A and B are shown apart, each in its own frame.
Chain A
Amino acid sequence: MLALGVLLLSLVVLAGALHIGGYDAGRALVALWRGSLGSTNALLSATLVRAIPLLLAGLGIGLAFRAGIWNIGAEGQLLAGAAAATAFALLLDEMPSVLLIPGVLAAGAGAGMLWAGVAELLRRRRGVLEVISTIMLNFVALHLVGFLVHGPLQEPTGIYPQSSSIAQAARLPPLVGGTRLHAGFLIALMIAPLLWWWLRSTAAGFRLRAVGANPDAARMAGRIDVARVVGMAFLTSGALAGLAGAVEVSGVTFALYENLSPGYGYTAIVVALLGRLDPIMIVLSAILFGGLESGALAMQRDAGIPSVVVTAIEAVIVLALLVADRLAAARAMPNDPGDAGDGSRDMAPAVV
């Protein structure tokens, strides 16, 4: 309910800002609708396709944030996954599809996990804040992909900064004929309820929620190995982002190139937050942002509005959510006007 209210508010803000900016707000919103949900093709080939990496990476981020880990590195983990998946598909293109596709996806997830593992190692051994290390790792991954597509993984003619196309056998099959929607959507859609069930109904899931809510209490009263729980959450989070990269290569781009991700890893943070870190809600939130970003591209085409305004909308959504949380916390504790420090319980475990 709250999320819906916040969303409506941001659309109103968007319309208002466009109006003030001298654009035709009505035409813009119509274009936004047409490009996202207005037709079967827009829904299947644009919105849902774009939602897939957002969903997978968003699930990972949600898990990490639940455990109190600020994994800002989904972008880098996604790129690492995309690079590893491409390399795997190009090296082992003789394999039959039944083995190749799982291999490609596993390579992506593994690389994402490894990429998060670097930050986890620095955090546990050296106390390096994961906020900083994951952002640095995003840049390393970005330039590493740049290096790969100009060097070892570049297509044989050496003209284009991209890899060769992966074999047909390495590609995820289409889900609906005649559209771009691919089987990756099903994969993402199956992981979400699994994760939801795991968080809700297993002892390990409970431990993770306990650690995120209050690590000291979890350690003292629950005798939980906090470092282990946090580490596992971080690595799983990286694996999901890496899987997102692999699915993108295997289902959409069929090759590695520099601008493979239009910032999926960053948008996924907003996706996870608007989904209140709940796996089921993150599904809805990912589809919504898939639609918003697809619609924004249509808005740029049809109404001449820079698609980058969507980034501002995302920011307004996050800021509105933060305020809504504070208000809710203040209402829950009327004697404590938001001065108790850590009031934003479900959304933001204490940092640093």
Chain B
Amino acid sequence: MNELEALLEASVRTATPLALAALGETVAERAGVVNIGLEGVILAGAFGALVGASTGTLGGVAGAILAGVATAAVFAAFAIGARADQIITGMAVTLLSVGVTGALYRSIYGASGAALTIPTVGPVPIPLLSQLPIVGRAAFAQPPFTYLAYLLVPAVWWWMYRTHGGLALRAVGEAPEAARAVGIRERRVRAGAVLFGGALGGVSGASLVLAQSGTFAEGMSAGRGFIAIAIVVLGRWHPVGVGIAALVFGLASALQFFFQTMGWRAPYQLFLLLPYLLTLVLLGMRRSRGAAPLALGQP
């Protein structure tokens, strides 16, 4: 595998958890709900994956989804059920998740939180496709989580733009009053969208534990939830755009590995901040608000 292939492979690998979380958040935001608690959802998902993994990989995924949905349910109960402010609720949910997973991890796995490793899911090369030049191994010799993200992009697109459910979702996000007037149960739709986002956020956390690190660390979501929210804006609230934006972000993050293998001696901290800087630059390059759902953030 040459450097370019390695760079692309790392890009797709880094983009996978971001794409999964961002696709879920896209659905929530198209219903008019910004869930800043996504950071906490991913973290809870990672912890759920660790706990569930004692019964195998599928158990890990199930645990992650359960934890992600439960965390999103807390957000939904306050932000939708009680119509509390979404931003503040989201921050609180993230804090809650950091506190609860940290405390549980230490009380279940020992005070030192000694590294506990679980077997990871290796790459599953897809026959033929993975033989393609340059992109083959990068795109088609990845863990199953990546393929799930590939499938979800068209699936979410199809559901959002080609089904009655998707129409109702978008109606709630653009004009909740009008949606209510035609008999759409606006709060139920919003809650459903947030819980779906919670499930995908959980899977995103699972991919971190089960396909990448093989262990849990406190605060291991490391801002991915916030980045996913920025990716939704960069992708202009469209599943395909969101998929592309996740890849761009993955590429920016992967550059650090690339430069390391190239033997560049630039301090790696500069590469660590590059993706965030790039996100800010991209956000600043064009007006994004026109593309946002009209009722976004309204309680």
**Chain A residues at the B interface, C-beta cutoff of 8 Å:** 21-23, 70, 72, 118, 122, 125-129, 131-133, 135-137, 139-140, 142-144, 146-147, 150-151, 266, 269-270, 273, 304-306, 308-316, 318-319, 322-323, 325-326, 338-339, 341-344, 347-348, 350-352
Query: Known: A118-B280, A137-B280, A146-B272. Contact between A70 and B107, CB under 8 A?
Result: no
A126 touches B287 (CB 8 A): yes
A269 touches B280 (CB 8 A): no
B54 within 8 A of A: no
Contact of B283 among A22, A122, A139, A143 (CB under 8 A): A122
B95 touches A140 (CB 8 A): no
Interface residue count for B (Cβ, 8 Å)? 55
B residues 25-43 touching A (CB-CB < 8 Å): 34, 36
A315 touches B95 (CB 8 A): yes
List 7 A–B pairs whose Cβ atoms lie within 8 Å, in order of A's numbering. A305-B103, A306-B102, A319-B96, A322-B85, A348-B88, A350-B297, A351-B34
Other A-B pairs beyond A21-B107, A132-B233, A326-B83, 9, CB < 8 Å: A136-B226, A136-B230, A139-B273, A150-B267, A151-B267, A309-B102, A315-B96, A315-B99, A348-B88
For residue B232, which residue of chain A has the nearest CB? A132
Interface flags, B77-89, vs A, CB<8A=1, else 0? 0100011111111
Alpha-carbon distance between A140 and B223 when the two chains are bound, in angstroms = 12
B289 touches A127 (CB 8 A): yes
Chain B contacts for A311, CB-based, 8 A: 95-96, 98-99, 102
B107 touches A323 (CB 8 A): no
Contact of B273 among A118, A143, A338, A347 (CB under 8 A): A143
Main secondary structure of the interface of A (DSSP, over half): helix
Contact of A318 among B82, B95, B273 (CB under 8 A): B95
For residue A121, which residue of chain B has the nearest CB? B284
Chain B contacts for A140, CB-based, 8 A: 273, 276-277, 280
B96 touches A147 (CB 8 A): no
B299 within 8 A of A: yes
Chain B contacts for A273, CB-based, 8 A: 88
A310 touches B276 (CB 8 A): no
B286 within 8 A of A: yes
Main secondary structure of the interface of B (DSSP, over half): helix
B83 touches A338 (CB 8 A): yes
For residue A329, which residue of chain B has the nearest CB? B83
Chain A contacts for B99, CB-based, 8 A: 308-315
A287 → chain B, closest Cβ, in Å? 20
Interface flags, B254-274, vs A, CB<8A=1, else 0? 000000000000010110110
B247 within 8 A of A: no
Chain B contacts for A270, CB-based, 8 A: 95
A143 touches B269 (CB 8 A): yes
Alpha-carbon distance between A338 and B84 when the two chains are bound, in angstroms = 10
B298 touches A309 (CB 8 A): no
A147 touches B288 (CB 8 A): no
Contact of B103 among A72, A136, A308, A352 (CB under 8 A): A308
For residue A76, which residue of chain B has the nearest CB? B276
Chain A contacts for B288, CB-based, 8 A: 126-128
Query: Known: A309-B103, A315-B96. Contact between A133 and B269, CB under 8 A?
Result: no
Contact of A139 among B74, B223, B297 (CB under 8 A): B223
Chain B contacts for A147, CB-based, 8 A: 267, 269-270, 273
A325 touches B298 (CB 8 A): no
The 8 closest A-B pairs by CB, nearest first: A312-B99, A311-B99, A352-B297, A308-B102, A315-B96, A143-B273, A147-B269, A127-B289
Contact of B106 among A72, A306, A318 (CB under 8 A): A306
A319 touches B92 (CB 8 A): yes
Contact of A351 among B82, B87, B279 (CB under 8 A): B87
Contact of A269 among B91, B96, B283, B284 (CB under 8 A): B91
Alpha-carbon distance between A341 and B295 when the two chains are bound, in angstroms = 11
For residue B218, which residue of chain A has the nearest CB? A308
Alpha-carbon distance between A254 and B116 when the two chains are bound, in angstroms = 37
B111 within 8 A of A: yes
For residue B270, which residue of chain A has the nearest CB? A147
B270 touches A318 (CB 8 A): no
B95 touches A132 (CB 8 A): no
B296 within 8 A of A: yes
B205 → chain A, closest Cβ, in Å? 18
Alpha-carbon distance between A125 and B288 when the two chains are bound, in angstroms = 11
Alpha-carbon distance between A143 and B267 when the two chains are bound, in angstroms = 11
Chain A contacts for B98, CB-based, 8 A: 308, 311-312
B250 → chain A, closest Cβ, in Å? 16
Alpha-carbon distance between A72 and B284 when the two chains are bound, in angstroms = 18
A325 touches B84 (CB 8 A): yes
Chain B contacts for A306, CB-based, 8 A: 102-103, 106-107, 111
Alpha-carbon distance between A133 and B290 when the two chains are bound, in angstroms = 17
A319 touches B107 (CB 8 A): no
For residue A72, which residue of chain B has the nearest CB? B91
A284 → chain B, closest Cβ, in Å? 20
Query: Known: A72-B91, A118-B280, A341-B298. Contact between A312 and B100, CB under 8 A?
Result: yes
